[in-house]
Amino acid sequence: MTTDTAKQEDAMSTATTPTRAPHSDLPTGHKPAEGRVGAGLFDPEQLLKSLPDAFRKLDPRVMIKSPVMFVVLVGSVLTTVFSFKDPTDWFGWTISAWLWLTVVFANLAEAVAEGRGKAQADTLRRAKTDTMARRMAGDAEEHVPGTELRIGDLVVCEAGDVIPGDGDVVEGVASVDESAITGESAPVIRESGGDRSAVTGGTKVLSDRIVIKITTKPGETFIDRMINLVEGAARQKTPNEIALNILLASLTIVFLLAVATLPPFADYAGTHLTMVVLVALLVCLIPTTIGALLSAIGIAGMDRLVQRNVLAMSGRAVEAAGDVSTLLLDKTGTITLGNRQAAEFVPVEGATEAEVADAAQLSSLADETPEGRSVVVLAKEKYGLRERVQGELSGAEWIAFTAQTRMSGVDVDGRRVRKGAAGSVIAWVREQGGTVADDAGTLSDRISEAGGTPLLVAVEDAEGARILGVIHLKDVVKEGMRERFEELRRMGIRTVMITGDNPLTARAIAEEAGVDDFLAEATPEDKMALIKREQAGGRLVAMTGDGTNDAPALAQADVGVAMNTGTSAAKEAGNMVDLDSNPTKLIEIVEIGKQLLITRGALTTFSIANDVAKYFAIIPALFAAVYPGLDKLNIMGLSSPDSAILSAVVFNALIIIALVPLSLRGVRYRPVSADRMLRRNLTVYGLGGLIAPFIGIKLIDLLISLIPGIG
C-alpha cells in the first residue's frame, strides 16, 4: 500500500468540527411552505391582495417588457376608443371589456407568482434587524449601527448577540442559531480557520465569543438578496426567456401583417371588418397564452428554489440547472453518510482478533473523531472489551495525529501502540527494527477493493515491533442513492463521484452507489480539469463545494452550488447558495431547473396549438357569408360571426386564468429521456391545445346564442 490511505486518515483526523447532521430531506421548517404550492392557488384572499398589483402593471412602461401583452394593451385601448364613437354598440363594449380582462388576467398571473414569495420575504425582513455592532478599533471596541459596517471591518459577537452582517469568523469558535435563515432549529458550530467559518447577518450567537470579518456591504447581504429574489425585484429575464420573447414578438408581427391584409379582401368581397373585429382577431391569433404566463413561470421556478432554501444569484443558473448533463458529486456527505464506521478488526497471520481489538481501542481513546469513537465502541460491543478512559492510564503519553506522521497512538506500560495509514505504519515498524507481516498489504488491498478504508494497527513491546492487523473503516452509502442515480441516467445526466480516496476504494463505492464514473485522489486542479473537459464536449456541468479550494471549480462550473456553512470565497464563486448546506440538494436543484424548462416548453406548445385552433374557429365564421365554401371549415357550427369572435375572445381570456395554477405549480417532472418527454408534451399539450379551443369556444357560443338579440 502507498500513502493513498493516509489521505483518509488525514481527512478523518481533521474532520473534527461538529455541526448538525446532514439533511436527508427538505428542511422541516420549510415543508409547510412547500405544501402550499399546490393549495390555495385560487385562494380569494391571495387573489384580492394581488389584484392591485395587477392593475398597477397596466403601466405601458411595465407592459412593454412583454411585447405580446403590450399589443393586447394597445388593442384594448383602440377598441375602447372606437366603442365610444357608438355607445350603443354592445359588441364593441363587450369585446373591449374582455380584452381588458385578458390584460388584467395576464398581470394577475405574474402578481400572484410574486405575491407567493412575499410572506417569506416578510419573515426574512423580521430576521433582518438593525443591530448595533461592536466594531474593533485597534485594541478597543466601539459601538456602531450595523448599517455603518464596511467590508474588512472586524466585529466581536458573544453569547446572545445578533450577528450584524455577513462575514467570516477569524477568531474563536461559537454555537450559532441560524433558524431565522434556514428554518432548522438545531444550532451549528462556526469557527475560524476552516471551511465552516462563514456566518450570516441576522443569525444569533448562542455561546462563546467570536471575531468576524465583514465580507459584504450593507444592503447586499444574503438576507437582502433573498428578499429581492422572492419578491421578484431582482429577477432578470434569462437567455431562454429572452429568446422565447423574441420568437413571440416575431409571431405577433407576422399575425399583425396577416390581419392588416384582411380589410382589402373583405372590401373586395363586399363586406366590412371594423377595427374592433380586427383587434379581436389579432389578439386571438397571437400567442397571448404563453405571453401572459411567461413571467409567472420564471418567477414560480425561482420561488420553488427559495422554498428549498436555495439562493440563486441569477435566473440563468436555474435554467442552466435544467440543461445540466454532468453532475459532479462529493462522495462524503453526499453519496455516503459521511462518517466512516469501524466494521471489523482483521488480524494478520500470527495475531488474534482480540489482540487487534485491544490495541485498536487503546490507540483510539484520545481520538474524538466519529471514526475513532466507532473503533472504541466496536471493541466494546463485539469483543467485550471494557471502554477505558484516558484518565485510567497513568503515565500514558498520547501521540496525536499529524499530517507529517499520519499516525496516532499511545505509549503506556512499556508498550507503544500506533494506528494509521498503511504506508506510515509500515515505515514506523521498520524504523523500530520490526518485521512487516506478508499479508498486511494483501488485507489492506482487500478492504480497499471492497470500498472500505484500511488503517493498520501496530505495537512495539518486549517481543519487538510488529503489525497486529487492520481496522476496516466502512463508508455507508445513503439509502436510495442508487435509485436516484438511475433516475438521473434516464434523464440523460451523467454522474461523477469526486473523492480523495485511492482508486480501489473509489471504484468500490462508485459501483455500490451506481454512479457512472469517479475521480479518485481529487485535487482542486483535477476538478477544474474535469469540468473543462466536460464543457469542451458541449456539456453543462453542476457541482457542489464549501471550501476555499473549491472556489475555482465552483466558478468554472455552469451551476456551482456553495454550502452556506462554507467560506465566503466558495459562496462568492458559486451561482447558488444552499442555506441548509445539504450536498444532496444539487439533485433537487437539477430537477427544479428541468421542471422550469419543461413547464415553459409545455405551455408554449399549448399556446401555439391554441392559436391554430382559434384560427379555424374565427376565419370561417367571418367569411362564410361571402364565401360559402368556407362554411365547410366551420366545423364547430358557430351561430354567427359576432358570436364566433366574442366566444374566441372570452375563451382567450379565461384560458389564461385557468392555466395560472399549472404555471405556478409547474408541469409534473418525470425522469425520462428527452425524446419521450417531447412525445409526451406534443401529445398532452399539443393535442390538448388543439382540442380545448374547439370545445371551449363552442360551449361559450352556445351560451351566447341563448342571449336574446345576440345569438
Cα-Cα end-to-end distance for the chain: 90
Q: Is 406 annotated as a binding residue?
A: yes
Q: Which three cell numbers stand for residue 118?
A: 412575499
Q: Is 407 annotated as a binding residue?
A: yes
Q: How far apart are the C-alpha atoms of 481 and 565, rounded to whole Å?
A: 23
Furthest CA-CA distance within the chain? 119
The answer to whether 133 and 155 have CB atoms below 8 angstroms apart is yes
In the three-class reduction of DSSP (H, G, I as helix; E, B as strand; rest coil), residue 673 is classed as: coil
Q: Which three cell numbers stand for residue 691?
A: 382540442
Is 330 catalytic? The answer is yes
Q: Is 190 annotated as a binding residue?
A: no
> Is the dihedral angle over the CA atoms 273, 274, 276, 282 positive or is it negative?
positive
Q: Is 147 annotated as a binding residue?
A: no
Q: How far apart are the C-alpha atoms of 64 and 621, rounded to whole Å?
A: 32
Q: How far apart are the C-alpha atoms of 192 and 170, rounded to whole Å?
A: 5
**Spatial CA neighbour of 453 closest among 565, 589, 338:** 338
- How many beta carbons lie within 10 A of that of residue 392, not counting itself? 9
Q: Is 130 annotated as a binding residue?
A: no
Q: Is 1 annotated as a binding residue?
A: no
Q: Is 404 annotated as a binding residue?
A: yes
**Spatial CA neighbour of 500 closest among 1, 2, 11:** 11
- The partner residues of 646 in beta bridges, in order of sequence, read none
Q: Is 419 annotated as a binding residue?
A: yes
Burial category of 261 from C-beta neighbours within 10 Å (exposed 0-12, middle 13-18, buried 19 and up): exposed
Q: Is 408 annotated as a binding residue?
A: yes
Q: Is 235 annotated as a binding residue?
A: no
Which residue bears the cell 485597534? 138
The answer to whether 335 and 515 have CB atoms below 8 angstroms apart is yes
Residues in contact with 61: Cβ distance below 8 Å, sequence separation at least 6, in sequence order: none
Which residue bears the cell 412575499? 118
Q: Which three cell numbers stand for residue 72?
A: 393586447
Helix axes 481-490, 585-623, angle to 10 degrees: 40
The residue annotated as part of the active site, out of 330, 475, 501, 580, is 330
Q: How far apart are the C-alpha atoms of 565 and 580, rounded to whole Å?
A: 8
CA distances for 568 relative to 328, 555, 676, angstroms? 21, 13, 42
Q: How far apart are the C-alpha atoms of 300 and 664, rounded to whole Å?
A: 5
Q: What angle do CA 250, 254, 259 make, to 5 degrees?
A: 145
The answer to whether 711 and 640 have CB atoms below 8 angstroms apart is yes
Q: How far apart are the C-alpha atoms of 332 and 3, rounded to whole Å?
A: 20
- How many beta carbons lie within 10 A of that of residue 141, not counting itself? 14
In the three-class reduction of DSSP (H, G, I as helix; E, B as strand; rest coil), residue 107 is classed as: helix
Q: How far apart are the C-alpha atoms of 558 and 543, rounded to whole Å?
A: 8
Number of residues written out for the chain: 711
Q: How far apart are the C-alpha atoms of 206 and 203, rounded to whole Å?
A: 10
Residues in contact with 493: Cβ distance below 8 Å, sequence separation at least 6, in sequence order: 324, 325, 326, 327, 590
The answer to whether 471 and 345 have CB atoms below 8 angstroms apart is yes
Which residue bears the cell 463521484? 497
Q: Is 445 annotated as a binding residue?
A: no
Q: Is 367 annotated as a binding residue?
A: yes
Question: Cα 13 from chain centroid?
Answer: 31
**Spatial CA neighbour of 635 closest among 709, 685, 690:** 690
Q: Is 153 annotated as a binding residue?
A: no
**Spatial CA neighbour of 279 closest among 91, 85, 75:** 75
Residue ranges at the known binding site for ATP: 367, 371, 401-408, 419
Residue ranges at the known binding site for Mg(2+): 546, 550
Residue ranges at the known binding site: 367, 371, 401-408, 419, 546, 550
Q: Which are the catalytic amino acids?
A: 330
